[in-house]
Structure 1
Amino acid sequence: MRDLKVLAVVVFFTLVTYWGVEPYAHSVMHKHVEFEGFKYKDLKTPPKGDPAKGKALIATCTSCHGIKSQGMKAPMDPVSASAAYGVNPPDLSNAGAVLDEKFLANFIVSPTHAGLVKKSGMPGGMADAQGAADIAAYLKSIAPKEVKPQEAFEFACGRCHAMRYAKWTQIGFVPKTKADIKTGVDLAKLDFEKKVGQYQLNLAKYLGKLPPDLSIIVRARGEHYLKTFVENPQNLLHGTAMPRVGVNNEGYEKVYKYLEEVGDPSKPKREKVGPWVLGYFVLFAFLAYLWYKSQWKDLH
């Protein structure tokens, strides 16, 4: 009985530390930010957009952006675009599915205001409020009904962040190449690495430093931190050059799913085997207790 009391005391203080002291210490050291559901309450509600009028105005965007789903190629390759703008402008095929429509309309009018940054590779004033709403409505009308997690990540994050576990670079996936049989030199690989290096150099000059690789970000940061950071980077990292991306809730869920697939691929198996492991410990503890009672019954 005495041993059970000791165990109860140990369990009690362990739980107090885990659920009381540790969360309190974390709240003191780290600012708590409430999640707002990607509503972007600080932005003005745009007027109702007309997709037909937006289609007529989309040339305003295609001087820098491609729209592959509509047969419009990007005017420049990623490296050349990064040299001109600091970062490669995204293809807009999935913009209407991944981005919040209100954010998108406000971003077209003023990228720095909507993105909460001091500078942007995209100039402001590309359209007035009504024109921006029309363009946003058009992009929403051509967006696919279903966007894959990988596609959402590439659009929202992939132009600035690499994912080496997924073999993703800021200019695309690492291609499968072969070295020349005679020389042993893989010229295609060297050429790709050169392009990645130049893009990263342009990106680092634009943002002040190279954005981090996101391969294990889901393990390094909790889900609450990630969604509040994506929602508004300035709340958790004041002065950061990372703009507010403007994703909607569905877009964020797709991005997070991909980050989880790459950074924590064993999670489904771990969750499946977890209850069996806990059950084993409970059974082992019960058998150990019975053994203990049988061994010490004559000494108590």
Structure 2
Amino acid sequence: MKEMRILATITALVLITYYGIEPYAHHIMHPEPAPADYKFSDLKNVKKVKGNAVNGKTLVEANCVACHSIESAGFAKMMPDADAAASYGVVPPDLSTAGKIYETNYLANFIYDPVVATHLSHKYSAESGKTYPMPAYNWMSSQEIMDIVAYLQQVAATVKVDVADEASIEEQLKAQHRDTFVNACGRCHSMAYAGWSALTPSDVLKEHMGAAAPDLSQYIKSRGEHYLHSFINDPQNLLHGTSMPRVGLTEEAQEDVITYMEEIGDSKKADRESLGWKVMLYMLVFALLALAWKKEIWKEVH
């Protein structure tokens, strides 16, 4: 059993060394970020009152559709994406699913003041001379803003996933993940492995944001699911000073986005995980066979 004692000693040394290094590497040099806040509790400018979707429709028609499309409600784009990007620095989002993918408190406070809601005060300020593409509607009452939110949520409830009627449940879920990614991320980010190109041209976005938005095809591998959950919820927690806005997704919508990134960037994850225990079992069997063979060969010597 000499070999087993050697193995046990080496294993103990490795574990002790790892335990000594890991807390420093992962908790001091790279501290754990604050947990994701899907209620966006720091945003308190808009009172939580019951919205009136009928009045919200009137307000949206008067204040929003000059820049935003709502294709599902019959409001088409006012200009091609390239022209919109050149005018605003980024393609304005279609609002068909805004009431579903964005958390209610975030959406209301975003309408009130986009810069505060997105945590981009360091980028858009009097000192920087830069102006956020969307103006603040802080002159509106909380009731009016919540009316707009109520209308957008009513519209979002009618939007169906773009998938064939005969599609399986798995195909429907994948289509839902794709649609959420496109609506939440696709204006700035490409996903080359899925054949998706960002709606906003890279050079325009770089001039507007200060850096080109990365292709997200392999981010599920290079960053990991845990990192992405924290980063998407609030980029400033992990990359202070970044020009990426806080997006304000609901927990469900964010899960859809990350699941889609995994489906595209790590499509073999399930196969790999199902194979792992088989490989370990294979190694264990042959380790035992090797040990038995060694004992048989050297039994006369020992």
Distance 2:177 2:38 in 1: 18
Distance 1:20 1:224, change over 3 A: farther
Distance 2:86 2:12 in 1: 59
User: How far off its partner does 1:57 sit?
Assistant: 1.2
Gap runs ≥5 in structure 1: 172-195
Confirm whether residue 124 of structure 1 aligns to residue 136 of structure 2: yes
Q: How does 1:1-150 map to 2 (within 5 A)?
A: 1-18=1-18, 20-44=20-44, 45-59=47-61, 60-118=63-121, 119=124, 120-125=132-137, 127-144=140-157, 148-150=176-178
- TM-score, normalised to structure 2, is 0.86
Confirm whether residue 167 of structure 1 aligns to residue 195 of structure 2: yes
Distance 2:17 2:50 in 1: 53
Distance 1:290 1:14 in 2: 26
Q: How many residues align?
A: 274
| Letter of the structure 2 residue corresponding to residue 125 of structure 1 | Y
| Letter of the structure 2 residue corresponding to residue 142 of structure 1 | V
Decide whether the 8 Å contact of 1:166 with 1:262 is kept in 2: yes
Distance 2:10 2:29 in 1: 27
Which residue is 1:259 aligned to? 261
Distance 1:243 1:212 in 2: 14
SS at match of 2:32: coil
Distance 1:274 1:168 in 2: 32
User: How far off its partner does 1:83 sit?
Assistant: 0.7
- TM-score, normalised to structure 1, is 0.86
Distance 1:71 1:116 in 2: 32
Distance 1:260 1:69, change over 3 A: same
Distance 1:18 1:49, change over 3 A: farther
| Letter of the structure 2 residue corresponding to residue 150 of structure 1 | R
Which residue is 2:211 aligned to? 209
| Letter of the structure 2 residue corresponding to residue 113 of structure 1 | V
Decide whether the 8 Å contact of 2:34 with 2:237 is kept in 1: no
| Letter of the structure 1 residue corresponding to residue 242 of structure 2 | T
Per-residue deviation, residues 209-236 of structure 1 (Å, max 9, x unmatched): 1111111111111222111111111111
Distance 1:217 1:25 in 2: 21
Distance 1:15 1:151, change over 3 A: same
Confirm whether residue 155 of structure 1 aligns to residue 158 of structure 2: no
- State the identity as a percent: 43
